[in-house]
Chains A and B, each alone.
Chain A
Amino acid sequence: MADRRSFLGLAAVLTACTKSSKAPSVVEQSMAPYGERAAAEASILRTATERTASVGVGSSTTPLQELHGVITPSALHFERHHAGIPKIDPAKHTLLVHGLVAQPMEFSLDDLKRLPAVTRTHFIECSGNGGGELRGVAGATVEKSHGLLSCSEWTGVPLKVLLEQAGVKPEAKWVIAEGADACRMARSIPMAKCMEDALVVYGQNGEALRPGQGYPLRLLLPGFEGNSSVKWLDRLHVTQEPAQSNQETAHYTDLLPNGKARQFSFVMDTNSVITRPSGGQKITGGAGFVEISGIAWTGNGKIKRVEVSIDGGKTWVDAALEEPVLSRSLVRFRAPWVWDGKDAVIQSRATDETGYLQPTRDEIVEARGTNSQYHYHGVKQWAVKADGSVTNV
C-alpha cells in the first residue's frame, strides 16, 4: 500500500508539473517491447509498385530524401522481388555448399553463428535504379529517381570462410548462388568477388534480416548490383563456368546501340544525389543559410570527392565528406550555401578513389545509348525557385 500511495503522490506531482510547464499531459505509451517511431513521422513510407497482376513481382523504394546520415532503417530498406517473399523456418533453413569442393557441406544458422562474424556497412542498389532518368522520365523526388538504393550495417560470415571450410578446389571460377524464393532465383558470381569481400549475412542493423531482405540468410556482395546479392540463400554451387541463368541473360544485361549487350556488369558505378533540398521539398523562411546535403556511393571502393554546383554545373565547389568514409557504403556529403532567394539549379557529382568521375546523362547516353536500362549513374539536378519550392528539372 505504501508503494501505491507513493506512486499516487508521484502522479500528483507529475500532474502539477505538467500543468505548470505545459508539457504533454498524458503519457500515451511507455517502454513498449518493440519500439514505434513518433506518430508525426508515420507518413514517411516506402512506395510499392506491383508490376503484374500476380502478387510478388515488383519493388518498393526508399524515401531517401527524408533520411539522415547513411543508414537506412530496416523497415524502409528498398525491396525488389521476382516471386514474392517466402516464409522460412530459420530452424530448418540450411546453406548447402557443393560442386568443386573437397567435401560438400551444409551449414545451419547455428553453425554459421559459431564462425567468426564480421559487421560491415554497405549499400545495396538495384541495377535498375535511375533507369527512368536514362529514358528521360526524370523522377520528381529522390525516392522516385534513386529509391532503389539503401544502406545497412550487415553482420555475417565472409563467403571465403565457407568456401574454404568445404575445401574449394583451385579450378573453381564461379559460384552459383540460389535462393529459396518461389522462383529459386539464381546468379553466378565470379570467384574473385567471393574471395574478396562477399558476405553471407544473417544480421541487418543489429537484428535479424527482415523477411524482405532474405530472412534468415542472404548473400551480400558489396558494391555489386543488388540482384546478385541473392536473398533467402540456401545453395552455393561451385563451378568453372557461369550457369547463364535467366537473371544474368534475359535480364540485368545492358543492351548497347549496336545491338550487343554487356553481360556480368555487376559493379555499381560512382553516383551521388542531393537529398536536401531536393524535389518535392520547400525551403521555408526565405533567403539565407541552407545546408546542401546528399549521399554518394560507388561499387569501386571509397568515394574520394563530391562537388556541388548551385549554377547548373557551370562552377563547382568541394563538399565535406562525413567520416568515416567507408568502402562500398553510402557517404554523406554537406556543403554550406547562403541562398540569395533567387532561382538556382543545384547538382552534385562524385569522384571515387580510382579517379572515376560521375558522368552527366548525356555522357552516359553517348557511351551506352538509351536501351541500356541498368547501371545509370548520371548527375542529378534540382531547380530551386524563388518561392523556395524545389522541383525536378
Chain B
Amino acid sequence: MCKPVFKPVFKPVLKIVLLLCAATAFAQTKYPGVGKPVAADRVKAADKTVMADGRGLPAGKGNVETGRALYKTNCAECHNEAGEGRDKQWPALVGGTGTLATKAAKKTVGSYWPYATTVWDTIARSMPYNNPGTLKPDEVYAITAFVLHLNGIVPATQELDEKSLPLVKMPNRDGFIPTVHPDVNAKR
C-alpha cells in the first residue's frame, strides 16, 4: 500500500513512534515495583461487571415459571407477591407506566429502567438484600424473566439466557438524555 514516494517521510515518523513507545514504557515504570501485576484468572474471578450490551453476563438460562417460585422464596418478603413493594419501604418493581411525565411519577423496572441487563446485574450483585451474591446465574436469569413478565415486557413462556437478555427492549430505553450544565438560568 505504501508507495515509494512516502518512504522519506516514513523514517522520521517511525522514529517518533519509537520515541513515543519509549515514553510510554517510562510512564509505566514511573513508580517501579509498586503494585503487583495480576494474572487473567484473578481478574476473571473478581470481574462482575455486566455491560448494557450483555458483555460480562455468565452462561446460563432461566424461565418465567422457575422465576415465579424463586421470586416467592427470595424476593416477595420485601417486594411483595406481585412486585408492588411494601409499606413505602422496599421499592415497587412494577407499575408506573405512563406516569413519568406527571406529578405522580412512579419509577419502576417496567416504567423507568432502560436496560434489562441492569435488572440481572442488580439481582446478581445485591439481592436478596440480606444474602446478596448467593443466587446462581440460572436463578438470576429466571427471576429476571419473572420480574420482566410481571411488567408485561416478556410473555409467560419466556426463557432468558446470556444471548437473549440483552436483546429485551425495555419500555423506557430511550428515556434518558445526557446532562448538560448549566441548565438553570438564575436572574440577578
Contact = CB atoms under 8 A, between A and B. Distances in A.
A162 B34 CA distance: 10
Interface string B165-188: 000000000011111011111111
A166 B132 contact: no
Contacts of B36: 105-108, 111
A357 B184 CA distance: 9
Interface in B111-133: 112-115, 117-118, 121-122, 125-126, 129-130, 132-133
24 contacts: A54-B78, A54-B129, A97-B35, A107-B34, A161-B31, A165-B30, A178-B49, A182-B132, A183-B129, A186-B49, A242-B52, A246-B121, A249-B118, A261-B177, A262-B179, A266-B179, A269-B184, A300-B181, A356-B182, A357-B188, A363-B184, A363-B187, A367-B183, A367-B184
Interface in B52-110: 52-53, 78, 87, 89-90, 100-101, 103, 105, 107, 109
Interface string B38-50: 1010110011111
B28 interface: yes
Please classify how large the interface on chain B is, using the bins under 10, 10 to 19, 20 to 34, 35 or more: 35 or more
For chain A, the bracket of interface size reads 35 or more
Interface of A: 51-54, 57, 82-83, 96-98, 102-108, 111, 114-115, 161-162, 164-167, 176, 178, 182-186, 235, 237, 239, 241-246, 249-250, 253-255, 257-267, 269, 300, 349, 356-360, 363-364, 366-368, 370-371
A17 B22 CA distance: 74
Closest 3 CB pairs of A and B: A259-B101, A183-B126, A359-B186
A259 B28 contact: no
Contacts of B183: 262, 367-368
A185 B133 CA distance: 12
Contact of B118 (A114, A245, A370): A245
Given A53-B89, A183-B126, A260-B177, A237 B47 contact: yes
B186 A250 contact: no
For chain B, what secondary structure do more than half of its interface residues adopt (helix, strand, loop), or is it mixed?
loop
B84 to A, nearest CB: 15
A340 to B, nearest CB: 26
Nearest to B32: A165
B37 interface: yes
Interface string B124-157: 0110011011000000000000000000000000
B50 to A, nearest CB: 7
B51 interface: yes
A383 to B, nearest CB: 22
Given A105-B38, A167-B24, A367-B184, A245 B113 contact: no
B57 to A, nearest CB: 12
Nearest to A161: B31
B101 A258 contact: yes
A265 B184 CA distance: 13
A359 B90 CA distance: 34
Nearest to A244: B52
A178 B121 CA distance: 13
Given A235-B46, A244-B115, A255-B100, A114 B31 contact: yes
B129 A83 contact: yes
B46 A96 contact: yes
Given A96-B42, A356-B182, A368-B183, 7 more contacts: A83-B126, A96-B43, A182-B126, A184-B48, A241-B53, A262-B178, A264-B178
B30 A371 contact: no
B177 A262 contact: yes
Contacts of A51: 89
A102 B34 contact: no
A295 B109 CA distance: 38
Contact of B89 (A52, A184, A259): A52
A244 B118 contact: yes
